[in-house]
Amino acid sequence: MSIQAFFYIVAVILLVLAALPIGTRGVSLALLGAAFALLAFSWDTITA
């Protein structure tokens, strides 16, 4: 499994957790998931 696929999996898990009605203090799981998705999407450009 590539690092890009790992980032996508982490992003999906974080976004699913953000949709659940659980309270997290100080950290937004939705924003963290979006950041991982953007990182995975741009991984080829970053490492080129």
pLDDT of residue 3: 93
pLDDT of residue 24: 76
Tally of domains in the chain: 1
**What domain range is 7 assigned to?**
3-47
Long-range contacts of 16-21 (CB under 8 A, 24+ apart): none
Of 39, 32, 48, 28, nearest to 5 by C-alpha is: 39
pLDDT of residue 22: 83
pLDDT of residue 38: 97
Question: How confident is the prediction along the chain (48 residues), in pLDDT tens digits per residue?
Answer: 899 999 999 999 999 999 998 877 878 999 999 999 999 999 999 998
